[in-house]
Amino acid sequence: MSAADPINDFETFYYNQTLDHFNFRPDSFNTFQQRYLINFKHWGGSNVSAPIFAYLGEEEAIDVDLSIVGFLSENAHQFQALQIFIEHRYYGKSVPFGSREEAFQNADTLGYFNSAQALADYAEVLIHVKKKLHAQHSPVIVIGASYGGMLASWFRLKYPHVALGALASSAPILYFDNIVPPEDGYYSIVTKDFREASETCYQTIKKSWSDIDAIASQPEGLSFLSEKFHTCRPLKKSSELKNYLDNLYCNAAQYNSPPSYPVTVVCGAIDGASGNDTLTKIFAGVVAFSGNTSCYVNQPRNLTETDMGWSWQTCSDMVIPMASVSNDSMFPAYQFDLKDYIKSCKAQYGVPPRPHWVTTYFGGHDIKLALERFASNIIFSNGLRDPYSSGGVLEDISDTIVAVHAKNGSHCLDILNADNITDPDWLVNQRKIEVKIIKRWIARYYADLQAFKK
């Protein structure tokens, strides 16, 4: 299977991190323990300024990344690279205020939880590690996935003195402030994915919502639907079922990866179900996706730390407008209403989000014009079947800020664990291209370094 190093090749460290980098109130000086892990195994050492691969954690405990992100360990040997995985503040074991309960109490304690602070954390940890290892001239390549990919590209933009380059996998940095029109966003790609897999499947799904509504509006309609879909608890509203299905299609599209290709699996079942009943077909798709379990929909589930954390993040700086408005959409019409959005965030947390802050701080509008002659060494990699690719950078910005995409790729696929047996050529090739670009950055850097040292 994967060439990844075993997790126990990693040593765990904690950095005494500043709570608020951008403020000097007494409270800002509070600290918390930020977790990071290092694998020294392949590192060429500071004498040769061997590279450092730094994975910038996103909205989950870093352990998860360690087990599924293969790009670093699969390439560490040929680069003689040190590998470091750094956990994002407020996730995993890197939670301020002593406990998750305290940290998530309200906006007073959550206020410090945002992307600009996270980037400053990464800068401090990396500067600290380089100093400890006497490796101040080792080039750092930051790598991130999805939100973490945004962080990686932004890190290169804001901290070029800390990281030489960034591999930003499936990073929808243009999915803010209507840079990409919401109607061309996430749901339009999910629809395209299903339609390309099967026109009849797409039509069935498109029709199913009104069928569900029609039945739900009948007396006993909800219990009929509950039975039909083997729900774990009786449905109270049809939206429970619809949200579940919405989610299922989105997941299938986002992670539509080889060798299984979930969209094909779902559509195969929908198209293959006997009879003409739409809901029977849809349920066949559900079973095909989720496997045979005792029940579907309304599974009892605890809120994960990702649920909790990301919910806050989308109500502070990460305001990503989702909509489904075109007639072609296989989803019910859904318009993004910023005012409603702000209202609901305020109701939940007591403070409003700042929907324009990301573009103020990081830019995004007219990105080619802004960055064509500014910055360097960023790879924006995308799989075009990934719904988030709609907010990604899909064209080269300059010679050294480049877009690498795979037509059939899914979310973050290029940096997830490789599979030597089942990975298709286009995926192997995409990874090779990325490695080649990074090698070029590092070679050029070493030449600069040699000239600099003279």
Residues with active-site annotation = 146, 386, 411
| DSSP one-letter string for 263-295 | HHHHHHHHHHSSSS-HHHHHHHHHHHHH-S-S-
Residue range at the interface with a second copy (CB under 8 A); choices 77-85, 153-161, 251-259, 320-328: 153-161
Name the percent of the chain in helix, strand, coil, to the closest 5: 50, 15, 40
Helices (H) and strands (E) in the chain, counts: 17, 8
Residue 351 found at the interface with a second copy (CB under 8 A): yes
Nearer to a second copy, 111 or 424 (CB): 111
Letters for 127-146 (x = contact with a second copy by CB under 8 A, - = none) are: x--------xx---------
Under rule CB under 8 A, which residues in 27-56 are in contact with a second copy? 28-29
Is 33 in a helix, a strand, or coil? strand
Q: Please identify, using beta-carbon distances, which residue of 20 and 183 lies nearer to a second copy.
A: 20
Spatial distance between the Cα atoms of 70 and 57, rounded to a whole number of angstroms: 14
Q: Tell me the C-alpha to C-alpha distance, in Å, between residue 81 and each of 21, 39, 74, 279.
A: 29, 9, 11, 52
Nearer to a second copy, 25 or 436 (CB): 25
Q: Does residue number 183 form part of the binding site for a second copy (CB under 8 A)?
A: no
Q: Which is nearer to a second copy, 68 or 123 (CB)?
A: 123
Helix (H, G, I), strand (E, B) or coil at 44: coil
Q: Per CB under 8 A, does 317 bind a second copy? A: yes
Please list, in sequence order, all residues whose beta carbon lies within 8 angstroms of the beta carbon of residue 61, skipping any fewer than 6 positions away.
Answer: 87, 91, 92, 93, 305
DSSP 310-366: HHHHHTTT------B-STT-SSPPB---HHHHHHHHHHHHSS---TTHHHHHH-BTB
Q: Pick the stretch among 152-160, 185-193, 195-203, 209-217 that binds a second copy (CB under 8 A).
A: 152-160
Per-residue tokens: 70 = 């293969």
Q: What would the two tokens of residue 198 be?
A: 């099967």
Selected range binding a second copy among 43-51, 160-168, 254-262, 281-289, rule: CB under 8 A: 160-168
**# binding residues, a second copy (CB under 8 A):** 61
Residue of 364, 383, 387, 392 that binds a second copy (CB under 8 A) = 364
- Cα separation of 82 and 5, whole Å? 12
Q: Which of these ranges, 38-46, 111-119, 203-211, 331-339, lies near a second copy under the rule CB under 8 A?
A: 111-119
Cβ-based nearer residue to a second copy, 19 or 76:
19
Nearer to a second copy, 172 or 364 (CB): 364
Pick from 361, 394, 419, 439 the residue near a second copy by CB under 8 A: 361
Q: Taking a C-beta distance cutoff of 8 angstroms, is the pair 287, 264 a contact? A: no
Nearer to a second copy, 119 or 205 (CB): 119
Residues 374-393 interacting with a second copy (rule: CB under 8 A): 374-377
User: Residue 118, SS3?
Assistant: helix
159 makes contact with a second copy (CB under 8 A): yes
421 binds a second copy (CB under 8 A): no
**CA-atom Rg of the chain in angstroms:** 23
Taking a C-beta distance cutoff of 8 angstroms, is the pair 360, 372 a contact?
no
From residue 207 to residue 246, what is the string marking binding to a second copy with x (rule CB under 8 A)? ----------------------------------------
Contacts to a second copy by CB under 8 A:
18, 20-26, 28-29, 107-108, 110-114, 116-117, 120, 123-124, 127, 136-137, 158-162, 316-317, 350-352, 354, 357, 359-377, 400, 444, 448-449, 452
